[in-house]
Amino acid sequence: MKKIGFLSFGHWNPSPHSQTRSASDVLHQSIDLAVGAEEIGVDGAYVRVHHFARQLSSPFPLLAAMGARTKTIELGTGVIDMRYENPLYMAEDAGSADLISNSRLQLGVSRGSPEQVVDGFRYFGHVPREGSDASDMGREHTQILLQVLEGEGFAEPSPRPMFANPPGLLRLEPHSPGLRDRIWWGAGSRATAEWAAEQGMNLMSSTLLTEDTGVPFHQLQAEQIQRFRDAWKAAGHERTPRVSVSRSVFPIVNEMDRAYFGRETRSEDSVGFLDGGNARFGKTYAGEIEDLIRDLKEDEAVDAADTLLLTIPNQLGVDYNLHILESIVKDVAPALGWR
């Protein structure tokens, strides 16, 4: 394991028990958390993206603000639902945020997760073409994004432009060199991981898989990672891809930790029903430092990945989440081979 980051779902709720009671709270605290995480040595700050929900939804202004306040930490998404995206406009937004951060963006994209509304992408003006479905549309949007991020010209210039054009076909601006290689696909199955490898995207795998073979979650996910790497090699890509997995990890080092997460010490994998089929959900890791080290060393997917993303309870506030992260990077991660 080379890198550790946090992944915030960006929840907010007007409840008096929440430290993020408004959209303004969660946006400002996300920036503060990225700054604090960088100071304690965390490698990445990632945010979830959901629409029609009391959660973070438009990532690029936030990523740009985080980039302006930090200097070294990677900044990313996990994931952007491509069914909702205009890939050309997204490429411009992403290029701008990446340049502000000096090329630190790591963008996770995917076909999306279960929604708060029925076919929400239609309200954004996106309708699957005849003979295809929303998942196909999300993948098509992704392929367009990947193509325009290459930086090649494709648009015919006006013969009477307002400003002088460079010669040839025009590309989208601003273009951020290298961003194309920092796009990740959030794969929910072994097959979609192989598709991501064929497209030349890095792999982002979360705490659930939309399939179940009866083996423990971490072993199924390790198989997914191996199939991704095999497909990458078969595709003949020159660079080495990155792979991340997400885990919920909560060291119990004081009574507050025990009050919040003591009951999770007995957590196990679970199997449920998602998007019309079986799905396997990974367990939460909570316990004393020694127990966490032992259990995470036995996690085959954590061992196979180069990046571990830690899901955080963002509604508990910046200070408490930095406490969790510091406990992990100080006491747990070094025993797992980090740095």
| pLDDT score of 44 | 98
Q: Which domain holds residue 217?
A: 3-155+169-336
Residue 39 lies in a domain: yes
Give me the helix-helix angle, 87-100 and 59-69, nearest 10°: 10
Residue 160 lies in a domain: no
Residue 77 lies in a domain: yes
| pLDDT, tens digit, 9 for 90 and up, residues 137-149 | 999 999 999 999 9
Cα dihedral 75, 78, 82, 83 sign? negative
Mean pLDDT of 197-203: 98
DSSP H helical ranges for the chain: 23-39, 59-69, 87-100, 134-149, 190-199, 217-235, 255-261, 289-297, 300-304, 318-327
Measured CA distances, 339 to 198, 228, 272, 306 (Å): 30, 25, 36, 11
Mean pLDDT of 23-38: 98
Say what the alpha-carbon torsion angle 46, 58, 175, 67 is, to the nearest 10 degrees: -50
Mean pLDDT of 203-218: 93
Q: Which two tokens stand for residue 210?
A: 């939309």
Residue 99 lies in a domain: yes
Instruction: Identify the weakest region by mean pLDDT among 68-72, 276-280, 292-296.
Output: 276-280
Q: How many structural domains are present in the chain? A: 1
| pLDDT score of 178 | 98
| pLDDT score of 130 | 96
Instruction: Tell me if residue 190 falls in helix, strand or coil.
Output: helix
Residue 229 lies in a domain: yes
| pLDDT score of 112 | 78
Mean pLDDT of 126-154: 97
pLDDT of 203 higher than 80: yes
Is the separation of the CB atoms in 328 and 308 below 8 Å? no
Residue 161 lies in a domain: no
Instruction: Identify the weakest region by mean pLDDT among 84-93, 101-110, 207-216, 293-302.
Output: 207-216
Q: What is the widest separation between alpha-carbon atoms in the chain?
A: 70
What band does 272 get if pLDDT is binned at 50, 70 and 90?
confident
CATH number for the domain spanning 61: value is 3.20.20.30
Residue 238 lies in a domain: yes
Mean pLDDT of 211-221: 94
Q: What pTM value is reported for the model? A: 0.96
Q: Which two tokens stand for residue 122?
A: 């239609």
| DSSP output for 17-53 | T-S--SHHHHHHHHHHHHHHHHHTT--EEEE---SSS
Residue 162 lies in a domain: no
What band does 296 get if pLDDT is binned at 50, 70 and 90?
very high
